[in-house]
Structure 1
Amino acid sequence: MEDPGLLSAFIDNLVSRLFSLAEEKYKLYKGFEGDVTFLMRELPMITSAIDGQLLGQDDHILRLSVEELRHVAHEMEDCIDQIMYDASWDQQPWYRLEEALQRQQRYSVSGSSSSQLAESSWDQHIPPDDLVGINSPLEELLEQLAEAEGQPKQLKVISIVGFCGLGKTILARELYNSEIGKQFEKRVWVSGTHGDPGELLSEILRQLHKPDLVTSNVNQLSADICNYLNNKRYFIVIDGMSSDQWSIVKSAFPRNVSSRIVVTTKIQSIANTCSSTNGYIHKMRRLDEKQSKQLFLKNACPGKYLDYLQPDSAALLKKCDGQPLALTTVGHFMRKKGWPTGRDCEDVCNKVRFYDLQSGDDTLDRMHQVLIHDYACLPSHALKACFLYFAMFPSDHPVRAKRLKRQWLAEGFLQPTNLCSDPATETFEKLMNQNIVQPVNISNNTKVKTCKTYGMMHEFITLKSICENFITLFDGGELKPKQVRRISLHRNSITDGASLNIDLSLVRSLIVFGEASNHILNFKKFQLLRVLDLEDCTDLENDHVKEVCNLLLLKYLGLGGNVTCLPKEIKQLKLLETLDLRKTNVKILPTEVIQLPHLIHLFGKFKLPDKAMPDELQKFMALGKCKLQTLGGFLVDESEGFAELMGYMNKLRKVKIWCDSSTTSPKLTTLQKAIQEFIHDEKDASNDPRSLSLYFDGCSEDILKDLKAPCYLRSLKLQGRLLELPGFVTALRRLRELCLQSTKMTADLLTALTNLKHLQYLRLIADELEEIHIKEKALPRLLCLCFVLQRPTFPKVQEGALPFLKSLQLLCKDMDGLSGIQVKGFTRLSEVMLDCRVTDGTKANWVRAAKEHPNKPIVVLKRAIPPRVDRGGDSTAAGETENELINCSVLSEGQVQETHTQMPHDEPDYAFNNMGHEVVSATLTGSSIANNGRVAS
């Protein structure tokens, strides 16, 4: 049905834009200001009226009312954009709004709230016998459940976290019913979905054979439970905790006698909180390809047809994406359709998206309800809109997180406020926290670089977006949209423009993957575009870009294809905030780009024209009008260029620079001065996320020697010939992230690195390292240490060094065994990463070492791809080797043990919270071979 919440988010955005109109003091007709005031008063009341409507209510009048309001709201948005485009105005939507409101009031449209849905009920639909791949995680958790010799007899909280339908409840139930689970003196299983701590504690007390409750006071209930359980070894399962109740109820549980609490939840922050002290977090993982097919066929194929030639199920398995609930329910559905002999099996595979939401089949209903529930539980309307935007990207296409966030802002889904200056990042983190978006590639500082939605969830939000007229998708299907506001074009799905009879004048976003048609690339048909993403468009030419320059409302522009130059007319894009040229061959950037008054992010690898700086540009820069925050990046050679302008870029926070080998001393001196100004630490008070990436292969490292304190950077990447560590590096205040890439790194350089007290992430890329001993108390805050080496010359680490290290990454294909590394010395280690090309003997040695470590860290196999030409951008380490890592497999298919020991710091350490445990949830394949030393089932 229509989504009231999504409409509310849309209306909230309209109110913000109306306010902007009032601020700009547009006066198009007599009474215009009064109409705007009326709307700014009326629209929030509409939001309040529909805010209480719950998704899933099958109310026909409500559906029609929301549809009418949404249609009027879209018309109003068109009017507002038309004002900005050509100062024209249409009052008709204003009158239609009044009519719609009168109709809504006349028919008293209201929705009843439904009872809270129990997340755990979905997992319970999966019969235990149907589960595949449960043995390995069960063995891992049974070890955590058992009382270990030599370990303190303390309470341990085990959190099982992951997307709905992955089997969290089943896994917890297997633990509860295991022989180890039955050895506890007191056992309780309760649901945590109701969200009321008092109800939760009351139910626990009731199951502890204390039915004579006379209080609902949380403190008294906690005291009663604590007294009853004192000196007893207990085992409690809290299934489906959906809100942060732990801080309120934890005092009820005595922390002695080796008791255990298991919490299942889909929310990462709840798992982190519950297991923050002497805890363990089990991150649920999707099934691999082999396991997925096994589970699907178990449910889809009757026994008498096991030897029958099976239809190709690859497309369907891809949509299920390793989710046990999806594989089970779709398997049952396919059996009803006559698998494997039914004629329409292949058709169902191709159209499962439509069967899921439109068939009304009871078999698929439970999966449908899971998807609705997960979507409905998103805590805000803006969050829902941003989540639906994932449908603009193909399901098998990992999305760059920053690309996504900038497009959200350009669309107007989110607005910065005094309380939140970066709403896009906050929204993205909330989606990740809900575990409905999965990370695909994670940088060394645990920031998610690329991500995707789960297969069936992507099918759900795609169809929902289409039904809500949120997007128009051309992916080979037969869709005939009424009004087009966002277009996503996949796989050459429009070839005949003559047959495409749609109005493109109202389109806000256009994203193309593959070849587009001339009809789509005729930008004269577009008027109100805000987002134009053609990075993956293969047939884009220079002539097309000339027409793009007439899209006056454009805020986000990404180009690719065969583009080699930008026209000077690009200066017309006065509202442009992001320009991404990384997938083009643009090498000379017109100075008009720098003069764009709202440009914040500029990506590519280019230089300015080889001629004198225009007076107009000099005046623009001198007046401090440049808003650039990200410049990634520019090439320094003999011509005048960016180095001369950097000093005027007062808002610059991230810059990437390449030095050409032909650069002479005068130009290097200019560059040095620009860098000095950029890293200058005014009164030792800088605290912005300032980042510098410098590539000086072929140039002298002398450009770094004269840089001096006071200086400040949050992140630094240096690639070139480094014989010693430049002095300014050790002088950088609060440097958190450092990446160095050089052919060889000397002992002096490495020794100097150990003095960086605030460093959290260190990545060293070299052919070899000279021998060095990392001494006690060195690098006291380091969380992640990564080596990418041609020869296995790893340093020796003394006991007491790297006290907070959580991730150790040793990427060297010729590594032999443990290479002298004493793993037990890293007391907080949660992850070891190896090059997947190491020998089987080396893999076995590390699996054994991980099993013997108290934390049982995961062992991940990855492979570094050789460097390629870097076109600039958002990378977080020097060179493209920085994160070009392919996840080959996970040796320790167990989970990450989260000790969460308190770190000594005087400011929030956001990266510490999720270090390591997201990495292995990326592209897990069927090559997982063992679990902390045991063979995986």
Structure 2
Amino acid sequence: MDIFRAVESASVKIFDLIKTEYELRNKMENKIKSISLVMNMMNVFISSSSRSKAEAFGEKWVMQLQELLYDMEDALDLMGPKTKVSFLKRALRTVGLMDPRPQHILLIQELDERLKILLELWDQFRDQSGEDTPATTKPDETAGPRVPLGCRLAPVGIQHHKDDLIDLLQHVDGQPKQLRVISIVGFRGVGKTTLANEVYCHDDGSDGEPFDCKAFVRVAWSAPLAAESKDDAARLLKETVYQLHCASADINDNTDIMTLRETICKFLQDKSRIIVTTSVQSVAKKCSLGGFMYRLEGLNEVDSDKLLWQLVGCDRNELPQDVQSHSVDIVRKCDGLPLALTGVAEYVRLKLEDLRRGELRCSAIVRDLGNNLAGRLHNAAFKAAHATLKECYEGLYSHDLKTCLLSVSMFPKNYSIRRKSLVRRWMAEQLVPVPFDGQEHASTVADKNFEKLVDRIMIQRADDEEDPAPAVVPGAVKNKCRVQGVLLDFLHNKSVSSKFARLIQNGEHLQTTSGDNNLGPRRLAIVYDPKANRAGGGNSNKAKLAEMVEGLDLSHVRSLTAAGTELSDFKLKRCKVLRVLDLDGCTGITGGVLRRICKLKVLRYLSLRGTTIDACGLPAEIAEMRFLETLDVRDIVIVVRGSKSKAEEDHVATITLPCNVLCLPYLKYLFGAFELPRDIAGPARGGLALWPKAARASGGAAAQACKLHTLAGIFIGGGDREGHQRLQNLFGLMHQDRLKKIKIWWNKKGVKGSKPKPTTAHTDLLVKFLENRCFTLESLSLDFGDESLDFLDFAPVNAHLPCKIESVKLRGKLSKLPAFITANEHTMLDHALSKLYLSYTGLSCEALLLLQCLPNLKYLKLIEDNSNFTDGTLTLNDARGFRSLRGLHVQAPKLPKVIIVVSGKDKTVAMKHLTTLQLLCKDISGFQAAHIDYFHRLEQVVLLKSSLDINEKTAMEWEEARKKHMNRPRIDTIECRGQDQ
């Protein structure tokens, strides 16, 4: 009987457990659906809450809403199923122990309560103020050019810009007389209006005589700035017509920006000139069709210092030694922006007596500049600068753009970030929305957001020692970028006040007040700068990450960037909701640290670039990071105990890629010097590909689900057997249709001594792979060093279909151009190739001329050092040649002779759309400077500084050719450290 009672009791308990399990599961699923719906609604509201009427309450309310949304996302991600649960835990859960779901339900209920409180506050605000939605920020309606037309002091550092613009007003002999629109484009407060006024007050016209009439029209654009604002366009047009004393025209309030331009042009003669000032590059481009864009940058240090003390009205040498020695810090902090210098000068003028008595020091002015620009100290001297910077930020009418800009501003002034890495970080943090219709990929949206910020000159190109040449498109960002200096100080404060991000440099919390330091940031950047530390007499122990974040609550950090720090003793388990982990040049990364990183459940972006790792490679646990999207292990140094010297010699380590990493469900971007795993063996069913055993065991489902987009890159060289096996493994990637970009090395980077050469068996396997991928790949990079690439002389499998590869980078010896590029005339006319990089190929000039038939080639980069190229002749005799080329980059000891053949009455030549010409050669005598006049759209010429220093006559010829060109293109000079750059 006792046995029956025990069985009966156990049956009742099991029934109750099953019932409770079912109820828990249903309750949790319903709560998750409900909270997901609320999250979508909150995202929509936050994205649309940029236009405002009640600033204080609106900003605070939206910030609390954003914090709640972050907590909801963190909770849902942490509730996701684990990839691997031990048998003991599964057994305990079946009897009701260690079940996390009741806690999850309590957490969701807590989030529900917080949402209800926020909604109640919303209702109270609406009832009291009559507003439909809580407001965020109110734009300054009086925004616009704040520099008075009749400036009392003579402008500083503007004369050469004035001379350039006056020169642009002049008519060039031999050029057709036509109306020209000159757009001055630059960041807000850089002095565009002042420069335009200086040119306006000049008397000479386009033929050296005074203009018949002149008009200076200023419009205070209503925020947010809209290039197509019809009301403002109509108002500008009416004011212009009135000042020019022209006959009245049919002007209505529906005039858009392009109609405005066309209507004004009707009133003006061919000799007339229009100067437009704007801080938006796309607006400048639209306005200056057929004209010129003049890019105005900030003042240099000498002119900035002169302007500062001229505005102060005091001789710096009369002040204490502290001011004489450290005023340069103030100048550098202002980043050459006259608007900021004006505010600082007004502040210094008011505090002049304190400076004389030593009660105010330059370091305090520098430290508080960001707070003053952000308006936190309510200093009247910075009112104009604060209003301009605030409108510059609020003019980003999209909440997503503001968020992306704030994410860039979390780094210090001297820290540059790579453009592509930044875009991938945005996607990992989900800072860019993915359209519901699915027509655009997240990467496309992120790229557009980046371009919009560059368009408004908020993100600018940063100096890049590895690649000093500027971008092909003037004003664009090619690789490294930074935020404009003064705007950066403003945004640092914005980030801290909204709990968006926190910056710690050498242990110091930048741009915070005493009450901010204990707040738990969502994003954290910790940078250790040894130079700044030595200059300030700091302690090298500040390089330890654990010490720099001591006292901070890291439980809510979603993005952690550490540069130059040591990771020893840092507790990664405190960062449970981390999405982005960027360890740039860090040390102290052991195998244990790597395994702890692999336990971060929701990590999407992991960069170990430039780090020193005290381990044998990547741990197998990395395959458990199921949300990982980006893995970057480029330029790492692996230090094996007892062989550090060897690791330093081979500064770029080659890593064997764990096979399960390739099967991670969300992995898209993989960067490093990898060897494919050796356990890829045997053909998969169908005979088309090879794949890891895990994928084959599941019928290839894991391989089919793989989202890998970029693999840069893999090492395939080695001895006969070893190299053959690596190439066999490469076939495991053939069937991945989502793989669009691949980079392949033959030899390991940094290895010295004799290197194995590719055999026919090796190259046949590689050709077989490439033959099948020419129709699906977007980018192909092959680096064979000094080995031959003639095996690329193959046509695609289907000779009737053109190659779809858009970007090709080749390094290795070639006797002629690869056949997959120049297979036949029919497919060549439809070739998708738009970017081509050829390095040390040994090709002659005649062989390279075949490239002029490529219809979509926009950028061509040639790096050569052989006599076949340098002693040859490039004859451009086809007027239709290079019909889409925008940028040409040639890097060689000597430039070959270039002959340009002119066709027809209109003097048509090849490369008629060329905008940027980069000739990085010590000897450029092969190209006549006067020939740039044939390229009517040329905006920029880049030369080696040494090429002009050697021959003064050459420098004069290029300057003379620039002045005679209708666009007066910029001639920039750079110093190139080596031919390999």
Q: Same fold (TM over 0.5)?
A: yes
Q: Secondary structure at the match of 2:556?
A: coil
1:573 match: 625
2:641 match: none
1:217 match: 252
The AA in structure 1 aligned to 2:617 is C
What is the alpha-carbon distance in structure 2 between the residues aligned to residue 218 and residue 579 of structure 1?
A: 53
Match of 1:178 among 194, 202, 205: 202
Quick one: structure 1 residues 30 and 866, their matched pair in 2 at CA, closer, same or farther if it must change by over 3 Å?
A: closer
Asked if 1:540 corresponds to 2:589, the answer is yes
Quick one: structure 1 residues 530 and 172, their matched pair in 2 at CA, closer, same or farther if it must change by over 3 Å?
A: same
Given that residues 836 and 863 in structure 1 are in contact (C-alpha distance below 8 angstroms), is that contact kept between their aligned partners in structure 2? yes
Cα shift readout 1:86-129 (whole Å, capped 9, x = no counterpart): 76341112122112221232243555985753543334499463
Asked if 1:658 corresponds to 2:745, the answer is yes
Cα shift readout 1:37-92 (whole Å, capped 9, x = no counterpart): 762686378549955326xx664x44554454444444333333332377634111
The AA in structure 1 aligned to 2:612 is N
Within a 5 Å distance, the mapping from 1:485-884 to structure 2 comes to 485-491=522-528, 492=542, 497=547, 500-519=550-569, 521-560=570-609, 561-563=611-613, 565-584=617-636, 585-613=653-681, 614-618=692-696, 623-637=703-717, 638=723, 639-640=725-726, 642-660=729-747, 661-662=755-756, 663-680=758-775, 690-708=778-796, 709=799, 710=801, 711-731=803-823, 733-742=831-840, 744-768=842-866, 769=869, 770-772=871-873, 773-777=875-879, 778-799=881-902, 800-816=909-925, 818=927, 822-840=931-949, 841=952, 842-866=954-978, 881=980, 884=981
1:78 match: 74
What is the alpha-carbon distance in structure 1 between the residues aligned to residue 716 and residue 363 of structure 2?
A: 56
Q: Secondary structure at the match of 2:487?
A: helix
What is the alpha-carbon distance in structure 1 between the residues aligned to residue 319 and residue 124 of structure 2?
A: 63
Larger mean CA deviation between 280-289 and 809-818 belongs to 809-818
Given that residues 337 and 344 in structure 1 are in contact (C-alpha distance below 8 angstroms), is that contact kept between their aligned partners in structure 2? no
Match of 1:318 among 313, 323, 332: 332
Cα shift readout 1:770-803 (whole Å, capped 9, x = no counterpart): 4222223232322222210023334333232322
How many residue pairs were aligned?
809
Cα displacement (A) at 1:656: 0.9
What is the alpha-carbon distance in structure 2 between the residues aligned to residue 821 and residue 509 of structure 1?
A: 52
What is the alpha-carbon distance in structure 1 between the residues aligned to residue 159 and residue 426 of structure 2?
A: 41
Given that residues 715 and 736 in structure 1 are in contact (C-alpha distance below 8 angstroms), is that contact kept between their aligned partners in structure 2? yes
1:413 match: 431
Asked if 1:477 corresponds to 2:508, the answer is yes
Quick one: structure 1 residues 183 and 815, their matched pair in 2 at CA, closer, same or farther if it must change by over 3 Å?
A: closer
Match of 1:467 among 491, 497, 501: 497
The AA in structure 1 aligned to 2:726 is E
Given that residues 48 and 399 in structure 2 are in contact (C-alpha distance below 8 angstroms), is that contact kept between their aligned partners in structure 1? no
What is the alpha-carbon distance in structure 2 between the residues aligned to residue 489 and residue 113 of structure 1?
A: 30
The AA in structure 2 aligned to 1:759 is L
What is the alpha-carbon distance in structure 1 between the residues aligned to residue 832 and residue 48 of structure 2?
A: 49
Asked if 1:253 corresponds to 2:265, the answer is yes
Cα shift readout 1:488-530 (whole Å, capped 9, x = no counterpart): 11114666649823332221110001114535x4222221111
The AA in structure 1 aligned to 2:772 is E
What is the alpha-carbon distance in structure 1 between the residues aligned to residue 343 and residue 696 of structure 2?
A: 65
1:896 match: none
Quick one: structure 1 residues 176 and 551, their matched pair in 2 at CA, closer, same or farther if it must change by over 3 Å?
A: same
1:384 match: 402
Given that residues 794 and 819 in structure 1 are in contact (C-alpha distance below 8 angstroms), is that contact kept between their aligned partners in structure 2? no
What is the alpha-carbon distance in structure 1 between the residues aligned to residue 317 and residue 930 of structure 2?
A: 53
TM-score scaled by structure 2?
A: 0.77
Q: Secondary structure at the match of 1:579?
A: strand
Q: Secondary structure at the match of 1:311?
A: helix
Q: Secondary structure at the match of 2:660?
A: helix
Runs of 5+ consecutive residues of structure 1 not aligned to the other structure: 1-24, 223-243, 682-687, 868-880, 885-937
The AA in structure 1 aligned to 2:240 is I
Quick one: structure 1 residues 810 and 467, their matched pair in 2 at CA, closer, same or farther if it must change by over 3 Å?
A: same
Quick one: structure 1 residues 496 and 504, their matched pair in 2 at CA, closer, same or farther if it must change by over 3 Å?
A: closer
Q: Secondary structure at the match of 1:699?
A: strand
Within a 5 Å distance, the mapping from 1:54-203 to structure 2 comes to 59=56, 61-62=57-58, 64-84=60-80, 88-89=104-105, 90=107, 91-108=109-126, 110=131, 111=135, 117-124=141-148, 127=151, 129=153, 131-180=155-204, 183-192=210-219, 193-194=221-222, 195=229, 196=231, 197-203=233-239
Cα displacement (A) at 1:715: 1.3
2:456 match: 434
Larger mean CA deviation between 322-331 and 379-388 belongs to 322-331
Larger mean CA deviation between 662-671 and 594-603 belongs to 662-671
Cα displacement (A) at 1:180: 2.5
What is the alpha-carbon distance in structure 2 between the residues aligned to residue 748 and residue 304 of structure 1?
A: 63
Asked if 1:333 corresponds to 2:347, the answer is yes
Given that residues 158 and 260 in structure 1 are in contact (C-alpha distance below 8 angstroms), is that contact kept between their aligned partners in structure 2? yes
Given that residues 550 and 573 in structure 1 are in contact (C-alpha distance below 8 angstroms), is that contact kept between their aligned partners in structure 2? yes
Given that residues 497 and 517 in structure 1 are in contact (C-alpha distance below 8 angstroms), is that contact kept between their aligned partners in structure 2? no
Given that residues 190 and 204 in structure 1 are in contact (C-alpha distance below 8 angstroms), is that contact kept between their aligned partners in structure 2? yes
The AA in structure 2 aligned to 1:653 is K
Quick one: structure 1 residues 752 and 121, their matched pair in 2 at CA, closer, same or farther if it must change by over 3 Å?
A: closer
1:5 match: none
What is the alpha-carbon distance in structure 1 between the residues aligned to residue 43 and residue 261 of structure 2?
A: 37
Cα shift readout 1:514-558 (whole Å, capped 9, x = no counterpart): 114535x42222211111111232443333111110111111110
Asked if 1:348 corresponds to 2:347, the answer is no
Larger mean CA deviation between 163-172 and 139-148 belongs to 139-148
The AA in structure 2 aligned to 1:678 is R
Larger mean CA deviation between 316-325 and 399-408 belongs to 316-325
The AA in structure 1 aligned to 2:955 is K
Runs of 5+ consecutive residues of structure 2 not aligned to the other structure: 1-23, 83-100, 223-228, 465-469, 510-515, 529-541, 637-652, 682-691, 718-722, 748-754, 903-908
What is the alpha-carbon distance in structure 2 between the residues aligned to residue 843 and residue 574 of structure 1?
A: 58
What is the alpha-carbon distance in structure 1 between the residues aligned to residue 549 and residue 805 of structure 2?
A: 55
Quick one: structure 1 residues 147 and 456, their matched pair in 2 at CA, closer, same or farther if it must change by over 3 Å?
A: same
The AA in structure 2 aligned to 1:405 is V
What is the alpha-carbon distance in structure 1 between the residues aligned to residue 51 and residue 433 of structure 2?
A: 23
RMSD: 3.1
TM-score scaled by structure 1?
A: 0.80
1:35 match: 34
What is the alpha-carbon distance in structure 1 between the residues aligned to residue 548 and residue 413 of structure 2?
A: 28
Q: Secondary structure at the match of 2:275?
A: strand
Given that residues 626 and 650 in structure 1 are in contact (C-alpha distance below 8 angstroms), is that contact kept between their aligned partners in structure 2? no
The AA in structure 2 aligned to 1:554 is L
The AA in structure 2 aligned to 1:217 is N
Quick one: structure 1 residues 315 and 305, their matched pair in 2 at CA, closer, same or farther if it must change by over 3 Å?
A: closer
Cα displacement (A) at 1:712: 2.7
Within a 5 Å distance, the mapping from 1:292-307 to structure 2 comes to 292-300=304-312, 302-303=314-315, 305=317
What is the alpha-carbon distance in structure 2 between the residues aligned to residue 249 and residue 259 of structure 1?
A: 13
Cα displacement (A) at 1:651: 1.1
What is the alpha-carbon distance in structure 2 between the residues aligned to residue 814 and residue 218 of structure 1?
A: 57
Larger mean CA deviation between 622-631 and 782-791 belongs to 622-631
Between 1 and 2, higher relative CO (CA 8 Å, sep ≥ 6) is seen in 1
2:51 match: 52
Quick one: structure 1 residues 84 and 344, their matched pair in 2 at CA, closer, same or farther if it must change by over 3 Å?
A: farther
Amino-acid identity (%):
29
Quick one: structure 1 residues 588 and 366, their matched pair in 2 at CA, closer, same or farther if it must change by over 3 Å?
A: same
